Amino acid sequence: MSVIDFVKILEVKRYSPNTIKTYSSLVSLVKGHFKKPLNKVSEQELYEYIYNLIHHKKISFSYQKQIVMSLKLYYKEVLNRTINIQYLTPSRREKKLPAVLSKNEVKKVIDSLLNIKHKCVISLIYSAGLRISEAVNLEIKDIDSERMIITVRGAKGYKDRNLPLSENILLLLREYYKKFAPKKYLFEGQKGAEYSATSIRQIFKRAVKKIGIKKNATPHTLRHSYATHLLEVGVDVRIIQKLLGHHSLNTTMIYTHISTPTLLNIKSPFDFL
């Protein structure tokens, strides 16, 4: 059976589009490496493959975990076989703090965008703390200017959630709508399809480079920045959890390690020398 069969099985089991895309691409990558059917690949060969990725390619904890999970699922669902590679899953999580832009840096990024469509999509991602997949899947009907609400449908975990719509974003959206007149999706690509996530990443990357930001920033950094900036003005972490659509409060708590009002007000002893 092929990767296409794997995709169909995941669709039937209602995995999210992002998970399906990630798992299928990783399985394709592994198959391409071995150049033979995966039912002919031994567990020892898989171990050596992942070992090489860790020690020579320097893959991240999360990427390693995704490879192991995608392979286990492929063997189980497609090959009807259980493989013992759970020990290849990292036994602990990375404790890296996400990159965050300051409010001034976010403003500089947005101000550098001259195309109203580009400015609108980047502004909206930051203003509501959206995942890039959520931004591209937004439809015109999801913007409720009467109630000032953005409805994110079928987000991660297939959960809908409502988010506050910024008044300034609404003005920007109206300006954008007059020029581009999208039909279904709020941001449309070719032939009326949803806008490309890759295009958004490229737009953001060019803007960051243009204004000279050296941080390892991506559009997802805007989501981290949104959460951190809310925390800095005193918004309760439980509210931020709901706004971000996190299942667990522990996921949201990482932002308390980045910045809190208390930490921001602490002076370094160097200042008193």
Helix pair 17-34, 3-12: axis angle to 10 deg? 160
Q: Is 220 a catalytic site residue? A: yes
201 labelled catalytic: no
Q: Which residue out of 72, 153, 156, 242 is catalytically annotated?
A: 156
* Catalytic residue list contains 246: yes
Catalytic residue selected from 131, 176, 224, 229: 131
Question: Quick one: which of 198, 252, 260, 248 has its CA closest to 224?
Answer: 252
The one catalytic residue in 153, 201, 220, 242 is 220
What are 188's strand-pairing partners?
A: 194
The tokens for 245 are: 């659509």
Within 8 A by CB and 6+ apart from 25, the residues are none
Q: Residue 271, exposed/middle/buried by CB under 10 A (0-12, 13-18, 19+)?
A: exposed
3-state secondary structure of 216: coil
Clarify whether 131 is annotated catalytic: yes
Q: How far apart (Å, rounded) are the C-alpha atoms in residues 203 and 218?
A: 10
Active-site residue, selected from the candidate residues 119, 223, 224, 229: 223
Catalytic, 223? Answer: yes
Alpha helical stretches, state H, 129-196: 132-137, 167-180
Structure token pair of residue 253: 């708590």
Residues annotated as catalytic are 131, 156, 220, 223, 246, 255
